[in-house]
Amino acid sequence: DPYSSDPVRHPALRINSLKPFNAEPPPEILSDSYITPSAIFFKRNHLPVPQVDPDSYQLRVEGLSEGVLMLSLKDLKTKFKKHTITATLQCAGNRRSEMNKVKQVKGLNWGIAAISNATWSGARLRDVLMDAGYYPDVSQWARHVQFEGLDKDVTGTTYGASIPLNKAISEDGDVLLAYEMNGEDLPADHGYPVRVIVPGTVGARNVKWLGKIIVSAEESHSHWQQNDYKGFSPGTDWDTVDFKSAPAIQELPIQSAITMPADGAVVDRSDEEVTIKGYAWSGGGREVVRVDVSVDGGKTWQVAQLRSSEKEQAPAPSPPPGQAWAWKLWEVTAPLPQEAQELEIVCKAVDNSYNMQPDTVSPIWNLRGVLSNAWHRVKVKVRE
Ligand code: MTE
Ligand code: MO
């Protein structure tokens, strides 16, 4: 069993698939902490977790003028300045289960918690590329930076993905070769000893157990870059889809969801009000500037209180424009509408480009169930 050396996992995780391991935390735990504890951070593996010996680990960097550069874990930690960022990772398939209700899609049936937020520390990819001989003329022929994981399938094929070279090399891009998560060594499930963190970019490009970096004229040839993680029209189905016709997902669209109360929960009329909590995030470093919440299915709205640090009392300063990599947690207390026996609670977020979420799922349905970001709705009963 290639999965026999997979690590032990937190029992609270909701398992989507055991081999490979895919799991998300219960939503109400997710919004308990601004920084998601690593043990309950969602886990998305396509393959068995590789066991990597930190002493013999070598990262291979190729495609630049210095030829091949090999870096040990110690080299990464000592030759390059250590940077720390707080960044949210979201799987392209987060909230896929809502698309499944409209019409069946292919993929893991994620709820609303294939998203989590952590601090990441490591060397800047930019600094490593500079050390490997990057010079501005490289961008005349190179367009992409490819990453290969050390996790393999039975045929020896490794996980792989790529990002645009300009994101990789930009000073403001904050792409890290991370060796720490939440102040500790990366856990096995999250890419020990080194993973790429591409803030603002879909989870799939944040390659774990990083083995190789290739500066290239072409995108990664991997299945996951070429024939997966792409968006299509609701009118496209498996008999008509041409994966070459759509770009690979990189930056993700605006997103928000309600973590509390849960769908089907019951509130007491005598409480007179209901407290609603959730998360909101946008890709590409766009900052969430507002979350609107309704308890009557979208007829009337209230603005939620946003939180961007562990404690509301100590708000974090706003990040520079284009570098809002971390989510916001939000909360609002709404009076119970008189006589309603059931509430339809709805949330929608707005980012600083005034991007907003679509109101329903049908117009954004796609065969792979990715980019599922319609207004999130939960129904709650009122007990008299
Ligand atoms: N990297 C490798 N090497 N293998 C993988 O299976 N999964 C990707 C990405 N990086 C994956 C990978 C996907 S699809 C996602 S959403 C994120 O890792 C999940 O990261 P996490 O497990 O740390 O939450
Ligand atoms: Mo993913």
DSSP string across 195-216? EEE-TTB-GGGS-SSEEEEEEE
The per-residue pLDDT for 139 is: 87
Tell me, yes or no, if the pTM score tops 0.90.
Answer: yes
- Reading the block at residue 280, the tokens are 């909101």
Ligand 1 atom showing the smallest separation from residue 202 Cα: 16
Q: C-alpha angle 175/216/285, rounded to 5°?
A: 25
**Mean pLDDT value of segment 168-194:** 98
Residue 312 has pLDDT above 70, yes or no: no
Ligand 1 atom showing the smallest separation from residue 229 Cα: 14
- Reading the block at residue 272, the tokens are 């007179």
State which of 208, 209, 372 you would mutate to test the pocket of ligand 1, scoring each by most atoms of that ligand within 8 A of its C-beta: 208
Residue 173 has pLDDT above 80, yes or no: yes
Residue with tokens 């979350």: 291
Residues in Cβ contact with 314 at an 8 Å cutoff, skipping those fewer than 6 apart: none
Residues in Cβ contact with 90 at an 8 Å cutoff, skipping those fewer than 6 apart: 114, 115, 202, 203, 252, 255, 281, 283
Cα 195 to chain centroid distance, Å, stands at 14
Tell me how far apart the alpha carbons of residues 31 and 203 are, in angstroms, rounded to a whole number: 19
Q: What's the CA-to-centroid distance between 66 and ligand 2, angstroms?
A: 33
* Mean of pLDDT over the chain: 97
- Reading the block at residue 103, the tokens are 């019409």
Q: C-alpha angle 359/360/361, rounded to 5°?
A: 140
Residues in Cβ contact with 366 at an 8 Å cutoff, skipping those fewer than 6 apart: 99, 105, 231, 232, 233, 234, 236
Nearest ligand to residue 115 Cα: 1
Q: What's the CA-to-centroid distance between 206 and ligand 1, angstroms?
A: 6
Ligand 1 atom showing the smallest separation from residue 20 Cα: 6
Q: What's the CA-to-centroid distance between 198 and ligand 1, angstroms?
A: 12
Tell me how far apart the alpha carbons of residues 41 and 4 are, in angstroms, rounded to a whole number: 21
Assign 3-class secondary structure to 248-312.
ECCECCCEEEEEECCCCCEEEHHHCEEEEEEEEECCCCCCEEEEEEECECCCCCEECEEECCCCC
- Reading the block at residue 76, the tokens are 């990464």
Nearest ligand to residue 41 Cα: 1
**Mean pLDDT value of segment 129-145:** 94
**Mean pLDDT value of segment 326-347:** 96
**Mean pLDDT value of segment 87-104:** 98
Radius of gyration of the chain (CA): 21
Residue 317 has pLDDT above 90, yes or no: no
Tell me how far apart the alpha carbons of residues 295 and 17 are, in angstroms, rounded to a whole number: 34
Tell me how far apart the alpha carbons of residues 48 and 19 are, in angstroms, rounded to a whole number: 7
- Does the ipTM surpass 0.85? yes
With cut-offs at 50, 70 and 90, classify the pLDDT of residue 313.
Answer: low
φ, ψ for residue 46, nearest 5 deg: -90, -15
Per DSSP, the three-state class of 128 is helix
CA-based torsion, 134, 136, 137, 140: positive or negative: positive
Q: What's the CA-to-centroid distance between 45 and ligand 1, angstroms?
A: 6
**Mean pLDDT value of segment 149-178:** 98
Ligand 1 atom showing the smallest separation from residue 190 Cα: 23
| Residue nearest atom 17 of ligand 1, based on CA coordinates | 203
- Ligand 1 is surrounded, with C-beta below 6 A, by 41-47, 89, 91, 149, 151, 159, 189-190, 203-204, 206-209
With cut-offs at 50, 70 and 90, classify the pLDDT of residue 234.
Answer: very high
CB-CB contact of 296 with 340 (8 Å): yes
Partners of 59 in the beta sheet?
71
| Residue nearest atom 24 of ligand 1, based on CA coordinates | 43
What is the percent of the chain with per-residue pLDDT over 70, rounded to a whole number?
99
| Residue nearest atom 22 of ligand 1, based on CA coordinates | 43
Hey, what amino acid is at 28?
A: E
Ion ligand 2, residues whose Cβ is below 5 A away: 44, 91, 203-204
φ, ψ for residue 11, nearest 5 deg: -65, -20
Q: What's the CA-to-centroid distance between 92 and ligand 1, angstroms?
A: 11
195 closest CA partner among 63, 73, 324: 73
Q: What's the CA-to-centroid distance between 91 and ligand 2, angstroms?
A: 4
Q: What share of the chain is helix, strand, coil (3-state, %, to 5)?
A: 15, 35, 50
